[in-house]
Structure 1
Amino acid sequence: MAATQKKYYITTPIYYVNDIPHIGHAYTTLACDVMARFKRLDGFDVKFLSGTDEHGQKVEKSAEAKGMDPQAFTDAVSQNFRDLLGAMNFSTDDFVRTTEARHRVSVQALWSRLCDRGAIYLDKYAGWYSVRDEAFYGEKELTKGADGHFIAPTGAAVEWVEEPSYFFRLSQWRQPLLDFYEQNPDFIAPTSRRNEVLSFVKGGLTDLSVSRTTFKWGIPVPGDDSHIMYVWLDALTNYLTAVGYPNEEGRQYTTYWPADLHMVGKDILRFHAVYWPAFLMAADLPLPKRVFAHGWWTNEGQKISKSLGNVIDPLELVATYGLDPVRYFLLREVPFGNDGDFSRHAMVARMNGELANDYGNLAQRVLSMVAKNCAGKVPTMGTASDDDDALIRQGDALLDLVRQAIDVQAYHEALEYIWVLIRAANAYIDHQAPWKLKKENPARMESVLYVLCETVRKLALLTQPFMPDASSCLLDQLAIAADHRDFAHFGADWALTPGQNLKPPQGVFPRYVEPEEEGG
């Protein structure tokens, strides 16, 4: 890495291997992928991490239910998450599994460091535990279910557990955490989630049980093999594992740590915004810069659950609608951070309205007219009119607008800025009517088509993080060299050269037509 090159380290949560990948996993990783791709195009040295969380009682029970050894079970399920990366065109740089040797070294080193600093002590745990959530709950957090048994805030069953346990002195970190949140107001986003965390921490923190003795599928506590580490201490440390911890002098660690962004679902925010920074403070290690907790999806207005049989398979969506349209829809449909509803009607409306009619039609009309009327070469730009200058200026301003939105994970805003330009270009083409100018003023027609080609170039550059394949196809048609597709080549200095040969145009966003019903 060049000494002056900016770095960006982004992580997904590591996904729990007791199930197959679903829309939530794809959504989180997609948000990270867009961020990673944007930052790479913007000149950053990016590390993009994903992985699988493979320890804990829930995994042990799931493996047992299938009559499998836990390692064989996790090998199979972890591969499903790796396969999702390829299927969704995710550009991860590393994939960490908590059953890897490098991870065991990292976690045990962190544990020993915490012990050396007096942050962990041995006692006995007695309290309510949810196997499904791998989480401990205070009695005030529980409610009674219809059957009279206590349930966790997540709806999961809890059981009373009594066993020897090591504890992390979380209670000591209430004020340091509150001070940190105040000094770093952007650490937790969106604001609604930040407020939840502040309220939780202000309410007081109790010491956290960080080991178990009633099952064996986990990483042993250093010096006490009768205990295995609490799965969340194990899991969270993956972010350090991937940068080579405990080697704090190594290139990976010195380059990338602390992480710039942990992307998580709202259900695991507490672990990332309370426990993780407390562990790092106690270990005297730098804290990540930001944790963003996004919302959940429903399916056609219904909560998604295995019991309802309405789990959304991202691979099925891609097979039905195509990869780039699915990527686009998931980040366009709802403000990122909010809950969203997946509906097939909305998916098709976005595909046909925004992708096919707005963006695809703009590119197809422009490039087809150039092929037909300019001998398939970049048109010549004459004296610019006020309308030309206005559209060119709007295009030039787009990179900064999109960058600002991406930096705060406002993907929907970034896409709306892009679509404002697409709509402006469509209005410009209708107003200028180059098909009429062909007869009336051919030189003016070329100027109009040049302005439109340049606009499509800028749009194709900026849609690369969201829709890599379609954007690449458009850039190919504009004969943009592979090494001129980053944002350093966005501005006027890298504008299209009149007379350059262009490739024959082809549509990139076909309309979606519902398959005919059988017998219809």
Structure 2
Amino acid sequence: MDRPFYITTPIYYVNDVPHIGHAYTTIAADVLARYHRLRGRQVFFLTGVDEHGQKVQQAAAKAGIDPQAYCDKLAPQFERLWQRLNISNDAFIRTTDKQHQEIVQRYLRELFERKLIYSDQYTGWYCTFDERFWTEKDVVDGLCPDCKRPVEQLSERNYFFKMGQYQDRLITHIKQHPDFILPTSRRNEVLGFLESQKLGDLSISRPKSRLSWGIELPFDPDYVTYVWFDALVNYVSALEYLPEEKPAGNHFWPADVHLVGKDILTTHAVYWSTILMALGLDLPKTIFAHGWWTVDGEKMSKSRGNVVDPNVMIERFGTDAFRYFLLREVPFGQDGDFSEAAMVGRINSDLANGLGNLLSRTLTLIERFSEGQVPECRFPDDQFTEDLNLAGHDAHAYSDNHFSSLEFNRVLELIWKIVQACDQYIEKTAPWVLAKDQNKKVQLNRVLYRAADTLRLLCIHIYPFMPQTAEEMARQLGLSISFEDKFKKTPVTELFWNRFPANTKVNKGNPLFPRIEPNKLTGAKPVTDSSTPAAATTQPTTPAATPVAAPVAPAAPAQITIEEFQKIQLKTAKVLTAERVPRSEKLIKLQVDLGAEQRQIVAGIGKKYEPEQLVGRTIVIVANLKPAKLMGIESQGMVLAAGDAEVKGLVGIAEDVDPGTKVK
């Protein structure tokens, strides 16, 4: 049996308003937890809140209430959000828990008795917001190097942990364990920091005369514990009293993954690692520091009023759409930019036109041609199933590696290749044509079965990312899959083809993801035609007289020479993917295969065609047209279509020819 899997998020400051950053970390942790449960591993998923420190004490005083009452009021805001986001955490720790405080004091006493904590006078620059001291060389223009807020000079006696003596040992550990700090760029940052300067000792106390809201030092009642020592210990203290089966420390520790934002990497990679070394405990296997989200290109801040509230996103777009967007849009570990326009684009292209449309069209075909039951499948695979089989194989074969590297967007890319391959499979086999010939009933059943079986596989693959959607898909497919048993293992054979129970009655329901019109969103800016001057939108008070011109005979088209025509390169292209361009009724973005290369083309055919109608078709394009940008998206060619003011149809090839064939 696989070793248990232990994953943690940071514990969030209780007086923070939950925002997109909190949601991002916690959703990522939830996806990993659900994935490993499906693989049969026992999982312990921990999150919670940090309730001590000067910021909490000051906020409580400002509110005129006791700090504990203040924390009791605010802590549930995170728990409620996790419920709305479908977070499957096994425990929620609060640093005001009595058991946690006792364990922190036990570790402090142990380090003090081993003379790894000492008392000394210290003078330095103190940042109240970050609750940490800075040296003279760290402070620039009287501002904290992290939060850019003013610092104040303090001189006081405190207790210090001998962190510096573990510097060489930590450097060696990082070098010997390449996966200890990820991504690699963050690992290099920490290593560069440790190798370029001497690591000092860590102040782990605050005098009660300045800060009383904290865990009292067991060896000096005039001091409380520095909030970061208190907070970091939660990762091991929780294992002593929160799991259902106790004690669980040796069972789950060391943690498999600590998920953190890049702003708190140093406290985890350096402070926490040296504390663990001093306590004789193993270091976590991986500390993964992800990037930050900006909003429409700007840093999030309360003063700018652009903090993204996950609760609003859930209400506007739905839980699963929000979860999907955060992990699909940006490689995990890099910084990302959030915009509602980008989210609407993802929902419409990937979820509505992609996954949702595939489920709807498949169930419609089964209802029309198989009396609403998934038929038996007795027809062997043919050339049409090759791409579909390959997409399913790749998702099964490579997902584990991508999950191990926390490459969530790569996993989702593999899953959506299955969606695209199934759409193309349906187009190539044309079940609506097979249904007209009674002699092809067996082939028709094969197509309907394979499409349904693909959706069954997709239910399993998307479950960690979009659990509610997976459950609803299974329900509409008539399957009795239940993912909510946290320790239920999905047998490997369920990820193979041809496991759909024949004669299952489907239950087609509402669309999974209805398309969203960007200009109909609450709070969205109206979409205007950029070619129309703003003044033209104002109606004049008195209509102007419109002169009537005499009819003019159309001019004869300008003639070109054969040499000029030969400059135009027309080639056949196969449409691989198609999706609507956000905020445009006409434009569709195509990815096409030209044989030796793939290109992106933006075509104004959206009023005539839905994207799913285009996938798999062979079209004709102008291949040597200079690239241009339409709605900010580069188009590397032009699609040929018939029509005057409106598109009537695409130019195609009657015979089956290879992509990239010249059209003469």
Match of 1:496 in 2: 500
8 Å CA contact 1:334, 1:412 repeated in 2: yes
Distance 1:359 1:504, change over 3 A: closer
The alpha carbon displacement at 1:354 in A equals 0.6
Distance 1:165 1:516, change over 3 A: closer
Match of 1:487 in 2: 490
Match of 1:208 in 2: 202
| Cα displacement string for residues 233-256 of structure 1 (whole angstroms, at most 9, x for unaligned residues) | 000001111100799x95311211
Moved more, 286-295 or 487-496: 487-496
The alpha carbon displacement at 1:353 in A equals 0.6
SS in 2 for 1:139: coil
Paired AA for residue 443 in structure 2: R
| Cα displacement string for residues 205-263 of structure 1 (whole angstroms, at most 9, x for unaligned residues) | 0011110102110000002110100000000001111100799x953112111111110
8 Å CA contact 1:368, 1:505 repeated in 2: no
Moved more, 121-130 or 178-187: 121-130
Match of 2:174 in 1: 181
Match of 2:409 in 1: 412
The alpha carbon displacement at 1:478 in A equals 2.2
1:306 to 290, 296, 302: 302
The alpha carbon displacement at 1:338 in A equals 0.7
Q: What CA distance in whole angstroms lies between the structure 2 residues aligned with 1:302 and 1:493?
A: 46
SS in 2 for 1:482: coil
| Cα displacement string for residues 103-147 of structure 1 (whole angstroms, at most 9, x for unaligned residues) | 101111111221233211111221112111122222222211xxx
2:103 to 82, 101, 106: 106
8 Å CA contact 1:117, 1:282 repeated in 2: no
Match of 1:38 in 2: 35
SS in 1 for 2:248: helix
SS in 1 for 2:354: helix
Q: What CA distance in whole angstroms lies between the structure 1 residues aligned with 2:362 and 2:522?
A: 36
Paired AA for residue 295 in structure 1: G
**Matches of residues 78-477 of structure 1 in structure 2 within 5 Å?**
78-144=75-141, 149-202=142-195, 203-213=197-207, 214-244=210-240, 250-381=246-377, 382-440=379-437, 441-477=440-476
8 Å CA contact 1:461, 1:475 repeated in 2: no
Match of 2:604 in 1: none
Distance 1:328 1:516, change over 3 A: closer
Paired AA for residue 469 in structure 1: Q
Q: Which has the bigger relative contact order, CA under 8 A and spacing at least 6?
A: 1
Greater radius of gyration (CA): 2
8 Å CA contact 1:396, 1:491 repeated in 2: no
| Cα displacement string for residues 19-43 of structure 1 (whole angstroms, at most 9, x for unaligned residues) | 2111111111011011111111111
8 Å CA contact 2:95, 2:234 repeated in 1: yes
Distance 1:302 1:426, change over 3 A: same
The alpha carbon displacement at 1:380 in A equals 2.4
SS in 2 for 1:75: helix
Q: What CA distance in whole angstroms lies between the structure 2 residues aligned with 1:276 and 1:98?
A: 16
Gaps of 5+ in 1: none
SS in 2 for 1:185: coil
Distance 1:355 1:225, change over 3 A: same
Gaps of 5+ in 2: 527-664
The alpha carbon displacement at 1:499 in A equals 1.8
Q: What CA distance in whole angstroms lies between the structure 2 residues aligned with 1:465 and 1:137?
A: 42
| Cα displacement string for residues 276-321 of structure 1 (whole angstroms, at most 9, x for unaligned residues) | 0100001101111111111111111111101111111000011011
SS in 1 for 2:174: helix
Paired AA for residue 79 in structure 1: P
Q: What CA distance in whole angstroms lies between the structure 2 residues aligned with 1:39 and 1:435?
A: 40
Number of positions where the alignment pairs a residue of Structure 1 with one of Structure 2: 511
Paired AA for residue 422 in structure 2: A
Report which of the two has the higher share of helix. Answer: 1
Distance 1:195 1:448, change over 3 A: same
8 Å CA contact 1:128, 1:136 repeated in 2: yes
Q: What CA distance in whole angstroms lies between the structure 2 residues aligned with 1:179 and 1:350?
A: 43
| Cα displacement string for residues 429-476 of structure 1 (whole angstroms, at most 9, x for unaligned residues) | 112111111113222121112111111111111100111111111112
Q: What CA distance in whole angstroms lies between the structure 1 residues aligned with 2:521 and 2:380?
A: 51
8 Å CA contact 1:130, 1:152 repeated in 2: no
| Identical positions, percent | 43
| Cα displacement string for residues 396-434 of structure 1 (whole angstroms, at most 9, x for unaligned residues) | 441232221111111111111111221111122112111
SS in 2 for 1:162: strand
Paired AA for residue 36 in structure 2: K
8 Å CA contact 1:212, 1:228 repeated in 2: yes
| Cα displacement string for residues 350-370 of structure 1 (whole angstroms, at most 9, x for unaligned residues) | 000110001111111111111
| Cα displacement string for residues 363-385 of structure 1 (whole angstroms, at most 9, x for unaligned residues) | 11111111221111112221221
Q: What CA distance in whole angstroms lies between the structure 2 residues aligned with 1:133 and 1:402?
A: 39
SS in 2 for 1:150: coil
Paired AA for residue 113 in structure 1: E
8 Å CA contact 1:6, 1:43 repeated in 2: no
The alpha carbon displacement at 1:388 in A equals 1.9
Q: What CA distance in whole angstroms lies between the structure 1 residues aligned with 2:287 and 2:225?
A: 24
Paired AA for residue 324 in structure 1: D
Q: What CA distance in whole angstroms lies between the structure 2 residues aligned with 1:480 and 1:505?
A: 14
Match of 2:581 in 1: none
Match of 2:8 in 1: 11
Q: What CA distance in whole angstroms lies between the structure 2 residues aligned with 1:288 and 1:397?
A: 30
| TM-score between both structures, scaled by the size of structure 2 | 0.74
The alpha carbon displacement at 1:393 in A equals 4.1
Q: What CA distance in whole angstroms lies between the structure 2 residues aligned with 1:477 and 1:62?
A: 49
Q: What CA distance in whole angstroms lies between the structure 2 residues aligned with 1:289 and 1:165?
A: 32
SS in 2 for 1:122: strand
8 Å CA contact 2:395, 2:411 repeated in 1: no
| Cα displacement string for residues 489-508 of structure 1 (whole angstroms, at most 9, x for unaligned residues) | 52338701222222234421
Q: What CA distance in whole angstroms lies between the structure 2 residues aligned with 1:246 and 1:136?
A: 33
